[in-house]
Homo-oligomer: A and B are copies of this chain.
Amino acid sequence: MTDEPEGLRALKKQRTRQAIADTAIGLFLRNGFDRVSVAEIAAAAEVSKPTLFRYFPTKEELVLHRMADHLGEAARVVRERPAPLTPLAALERHQLERLAAHDPVTGLCEEPEVLAFMRLVYDTPSLSSHLLDYIGHDIDALAAALAEALPGAGALAPRLVAVQFIGVRQELARLNWQRLDGGTPVEQAHRLAVAETVEAVALLRGGAGGRGF
């Protein structure tokens, strides 16, 4: 999976990177993103400011890199789907599985640290703004995978479907988090999330026309 170039040097790099990110997120959660300076973070992590920026290109990346792992997940799901499944069916199944596992990417995770982390991202404009950039790459990847899966569909439809699916997925994740953060019990939130996911995919599959739109 991930290259482990081994050696003492690489090990220390990983540790430093982890230490910086942990320190930063800890401070952000305690005091708010805008009220912590990178200089403070660097000092708390016992590292100089230039070093900090050698590990993370921007202040926002200190937070958002944790979400980068799941980038391109939708595209992978489409590519690796078993033969009988349509792309949308595979995406739906995968999404339901992630919901059942209470995976943070779905927004449905009751862990207090995760909830606080998501609140940090959603409540900080510069973070949620940057998050949209990530999502853009996700759309690109999914569009490519869809075009590959349906060679006869042209270039436009896959792109549009990718925009729609990723947009909807993101919207549902935000909704899931909002409910949990608002105090809704997990089991209830999970039932709602499942129902909404099924409804959303049905909407994507069957269109909005039949519903009066």
Listed in ascending order, the chain A residues whose CB lies under 8 Å from chain B are: 86-88, 125, 129-130, 132-133, 136, 146, 150, 152-153, 156-157, 159-161, 163-164, 167-168, 171, 175, 196, 199-200, 203-209, 211-213
Contact = CB atoms under 8 A, between A and B. Distances in A.
A132 B132 CA distance: 7
Contact of A208 (B136, B161, B171, B175): B161
Contacts of A150: 211-213
Given A150-B211, A205-B208, A207-B208, 18 more contacts: A87-B213, A88-B208, A88-B213, A125-B133, A129-B132, A132-B132, A153-B213, A156-B200, A159-B171, A161-B203, A161-B208, A163-B164, A164-B164, A203-B207, A204-B207, A204-B213, A205-B207, A205-B213
A175 B212 CA distance: 29
A206 B207 CA distance: 4
Instruction: Specify the main secondary structure of chain A where it touches its partner.
Output: helix
Contacts of A125: 133
A19 to B, nearest CB: 29
A86 B209 CA distance: 9
A210 to B, nearest CB: 8
Nearest to A159: B171
A200 B150 CA distance: 17
